[in-house]
Structure 1
Amino acid sequence: MACRRGARDLPVGSRFVRLRAAGGHAMIVAVIVSAALSVLVLVLALVLPAITSPTVPFGVRVPAGHAHDPAVTQQTRLYRRRVLAGGIAAAGGCVALFGVTGETVLLPVSVLVLLGLWYGCFFLANHEIRAAKAAGGWYEGLRQRITVDTGLRTDPPRFPWLWLTPALVITVATVVVGVILYPSMPAVLPVHHGAHGSPDRQAAKSVGTAFSLVFVQIGMTALLGGIATAIVHRSRPDIDPAHPRSSARWHRRYMALAAKTLLGLVAMIDLGMLGSSLLMWTGTVTSWAPLVVVLPILAAVVVAIVVLARNNRVRDEEEPDTGLTHRDDDKYWRGGLFYVNRDDHALMVPRRFGVGWTLNFGNPRAAMLLAAVAALIGLVITLRFTG
């Protein structure tokens, strides 16, 4: 308290210098975080064609014999050129506007622009490959089949419960620390920080205010833990009819790896939420706080992407080719990214472009999961940004 009174007693000029210094630090933090996110998005967009299955280039199902068709090769080159040129232009434009206006909100905008650019380049490649596939009759005369792993019902893979332990321990520890610190917390808590790193919204101490991030943390742990469970027990493997045994074995290993990776990411997110709660509970105000909280989570995201990307393709186990091919199921993929099939009871299916899984938006349970996400976002807005 003595430090705070001393800060208020400083001359106006000294307080102005401090505020300017804090603002400069906040801008540096915003630049670092936004640059890291932009680089991550750009690099991921460039490497995804190399780690996606060759039989679904840019979300288009093609026979193995056409995986390296000149049309696919050409669109891959054009996609990378467009992403690289557009990404550099978008980032440069946002940085230039930031330099002129000084508005830090323009830096995160560059990430959103990159995501939009990414999908635009993907959609162009998807459209051109679909056109080449239709014009060339790539599926004419081929034996199309759907292959399933019946053992998933009789002998399902085990859920890695041990990997959920760190997230649960961190969440429980956050609750315990909050309960212990609650009597000594400041009477007024910062609930939002402005662009310059200083609190611009405060609220009187209460259980709802003090534990707002804890409630979000609990909801996030439950939601992502549920998604990890759905990956193992409610997802449909995309088994290759040409190599069914090796493909089924790989999918089992990949499902377990994906669940472990997601649970590890949950633990890092919970750790970041614990750090944010401690800053609020102790009344700590520093412009470098976002780096302390965000960078570990960002590093965990990078590790998760690298782990999944390295294992994203079925390994060749020299299984004899059955002569069968995947069914041409492009009609169920809207825009090459969104799967909508009411006849498929699976909640989640492997992504066509990228790593991991995506929802089957034709399954009613997908709406329930999206509602849970919307509720969590609503909880963040209600508890964190109002009051």
Structure 2
Amino acid sequence: MQTSTTTLMLILSTFIPVFGIILAATPYLTPTSECFAVTIPTAQSHDHTLATYRRLYCGIMVACTAAMTAACVAAACLDPTHAFLACFIVGMLALIILGYILMLVFRAKVQHIKQERGWQAQRQRSAAIIGPDCHVPHPISMRWNLLYVPVFAVTLAIGYAGYQRMPEHIPLQVNLNSETTRTMARSLMAIWLPLLVFGLLAAVLIFTQYVITHSKKDVDANDPESSAYAYGLYARAWSVFTLVAGLIVCMLAPIMELSFTGAVSPRQAMIIVFGVLILVIGGSATLSIALGQNGSKVRITQRGDMDMPSDDDAHWKLDVFYANHDDASVFVPKRFGIEWTVNIARPATWALLVVAAALTIGVVVAVTMLA
């Protein structure tokens, strides 16, 4: 039992280097018009000083990732039940915090260079690709999310069909040794627990699809056709991945029901969960590195211009918060990282945040009551 638990923890330890590598590579995944979330002339993207900053950021993150990975592997071998979890959680949080702090440090340095060398947009220009002759990829239709319906229908069917096989006290939580640490009383409402948990996750992923579909497009006015095609390919690839990954993860809902009935043991369920996590995280890492931020790695042309068509640095606060009253977009691509964010200056953003918070609280309360 101890050996198999250690093996599972060693597998879980691989999440840290994968996550750390993505963070370390982020400065190299951004478009040539940006450096540490600062708009720069594309002709200066390979500037010696900027290249040095990227190497420093990457080197520090790789070194810290290696240290955190080694610590987790040691903890998995020495005490996989307690020390490993603490080390794993601390390691992941440390990488996130360190990556963000380093980004802010180098962002300030790039801003100083930008001001010192006088890099600024002489005028604000934008571009859009429209018309029937425009062969730009688009995200997949939102109708594909109806595929979640049969997954959850099967989940409920398994729950009701196997209800009589469920024990009086259903195992709800197990430790790394597959020992039950929390149970819930058998009831018809317990059948709906997996649906609530994974239904919330599906709602988040469907909303992510909506964000990708309705986000502001990242089009370079100096190279509109190539940048529009690259961003379209980027958005389509992530919309497909979000759907496929969501369906794979939500297949854990019927697995959860099967574990309630005893058809799947806690250890088997744990192995399946780890397998799904590895598949999703590995796929996300591969797609991030292959496409780059906003499709920067698949652009056919990369023009090196000193002319900056636009500069919205003033609207980005700490690289996380985008606030622009003059921008009608609610969703926009992030400046540093493979994600999208919101325009906090739009009233619709706050309405969405309130709805999301209410939905999350409602599901958490419902799950708590059931458990």
Scaled by the length of structure 1, what TM-score is found? Answer: 0.81
How many residue pairs get matched?
A: 362
Aligned to 1:360: 343
Contact (CA 8 Å) 1:58, 1:353: kept in 2 or not? Answer: yes
Deviations 1:311-369 (A, max 9, x none): 32164545999985331111111222332223322222112122242222333333344
Contact (CA 8 Å) 1:243, 1:321: kept in 2 or not? Answer: no
Q: Which runs of 5+ in 1 are unaligned?
A: 1-20
Q: Is 1:278 the equivalent of 2:258?
A: yes
Contact (CA 8 Å) 2:35, 2:50: kept in 1 or not? Answer: yes
Aligned to 1:376: 360
Q: CA deviation at 1:237?
A: 0.7
Quick one: distance in 2 between partners of 1:308 and 1:97? Answer: 29
Quick one: distance in 1 between partners of 2:22 and 2:58? Answer: 11
Instruction: Sort the Cα spacing of 1:383 and 1:325 in 2 relative to 1 into closer, same or farther, 3 A.
Output: same
Q: Is 1:46 the equivalent of 2:24?
A: yes
Q: Is 1:82 the equivalent of 2:65?
A: no
Q: CA deviation at 1:135?
A: 1.5
CA RMSD of aligned residues (A): 3.2
Deviations 1:78-128 (A, max 9, x none): 101111122223344455567479433212322222222222222222121
Q: CA deviation at 1:386?
A: 7.3
Q: CA deviation at 1:212?
A: 1.0
Please state whether the residue corresponding to 1:186 is helix, strand or coil: coil
* Match among 339, 342, 349 for residue 332 of structure 2: 349
Letter in 2 for 1:32: I
Instruction: Sort the Cα spacing of 1:263 and 1:36 in 2 relative to 1 into closer, same or farther, 3 A.
Output: same
Aligned to 2:235: 255
Quick one: distance in 2 between partners of 1:325 and 1:310? Answer: 26
Aligned to 1:169: 150
Q: Which runs of 5+ in 2 are unaligned?
A: none
Q: CA deviation at 1:236?
A: 0.3
Deviations 1:272-321 (A, max 9, x none): 23323321232754345322113223312321342344232164545999
Contact (CA 8 Å) 2:16, 2:91: kept in 1 or not? Answer: yes
Q: Percent identity?
A: 22
Scaled by the length of structure 2, what TM-score is found? Answer: 0.84
Q: CA deviation at 1:370?
A: 3.8
Letter in 1 for 2:22: L
Q: How do residues 1-387 of structure 1 correspond to structure 2 at under 5 angstroms? A: 21=1, 25-33=4-12, 35-93=13-71, 99=78, 102-106=82-86, 107-139=88-120, 142-149=122-129, 157=138, 159-161=140-142, 163-232=144-213, 234-282=214-262, 284-311=264-291, 312-313=295-296, 315-317=298-300, 325-371=308-354, 373-374=356-357, 375-376=359-360, 379-380=363-364, 383=367, 387=371
Q: CA deviation at 1:30?
A: 3.2
Contact (CA 8 Å) 1:309, 1:355: kept in 2 or not? Answer: no
Deviations 1:228-250 (A, max 9, x none): 02311x21012101012332233
Quick one: distance in 2 between partners of 1:304 and 1:94? Answer: 22
Moved more, 332-341 or 60-69: 332-341
